[in-house]
């Protein structure tokens, strides 16, 4: 059996906006600080002055919530594949 893996975040699924919200909450509520270094950056790893451990903890604590609540990107077509 062959498996195909596709990276759909930010292409088909609108996860970037959810990550922006979750990182802002995480930075102030969990880390108890405001460490934004460049709010113009799209990906959260470039927006905050977090340690590698803080990035990993954020991802471990929030990735599933983000992935389960993201929406289809505006303009993306829904395609159903059948055999």
pLDDT < 70 positions in the chain: 4-12, 76-83
User: What integer pLDDT is reported at residue 69 of this predicted model?
Assistant: 83
Reported as a single tens digit per residue, the pLDDT across 44-56 is: 788 888 999 999 9
SS3 2: coil
User: What integer pLDDT is reported at residue 49 of this predicted model?
Assistant: 87
Domain layout of the chain by residue ranges: 15-69
User: What integer pLDDT is reported at residue 77 of this predicted model?
Assistant: 65
User: What integer pLDDT is reported at residue 41 of this predicted model?
Assistant: 78
């Amino acid at each position: 059996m062959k498996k195909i893996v596709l990276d759909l975040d930010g292409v088909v699924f609108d996860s970037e906006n959810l990550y922006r919200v979750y990182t802002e909450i995480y930075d102030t509520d969990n880390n108890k600080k405001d460490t934004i270094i460049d709010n113009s950056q799209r990906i959260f790893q470039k927006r905050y002055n977090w340690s590698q451990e803080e990035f990993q903890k954020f991802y471990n604590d929030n990735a599933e919530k983000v992935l389960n609540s993201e929406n289809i990107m505006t303009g993306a077509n829904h395609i159903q594949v059948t055999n």
